[in-house]
Amino acid sequence: PRLGDSGVKALKGAALDWVVAQIEGRQVGILKAGLVFGIDCGCPCRYSSDWSQGGPLIEKYHVDLHYPHGREGLGWLAQSGTHMEPNPIAAMDATPLIAVCRTIVVAKLGYIVKVPACLVMP
């Protein structure tokens, strides 16, 4: 598929799942409905919305996840690295799995990634 640049802060849904699948080394296809499908496992890739897929990534990539008290409306904070590091990588979102997935993407690939154009909403 044709790839275009996307800022990680804007990634969600199938686009975010596709990038995480790339990090995980999965062989994937894209269905017409914009669903990322794991060719190697025969199932949809839903890291950012399915705890059975996204949850294990928290332990695998050592992501710290919490809901900041007193910061209503900011949502969940996911952080990669340790609190001892001068610039730990972090992402926030209303849902914990999206915050986790975005943190992993930034930690592994940076703040701008290539995503199939058909998965990025205009």
Q: What's the residue count for the chain? A: 122
- Per-residue pLDDT tens digits for 62-73: 999 988 766 666
Q: How far apart are CA 98 and CA 40, in angstroms?
A: 23
Percent of the chain scoring above 70 in pLDDT: 84
The encoded tokens of residue 28 equal 């994937």
Q: How far apart are CA 105 and CA 29, in angstroms?
A: 19
Residue 113: how many other CB atoms lie within 10 Å: 22
- Per-residue pLDDT tens digits for 3-54: 455 688 889 999 999 999 999 999 999 987 788 999 988 899 999 999 999 9
Q: What is the pLDDT of residue 122?
A: 54
pTM of the full structure: 0.86
Q: What is the pLDDT of residue 22?
A: 95
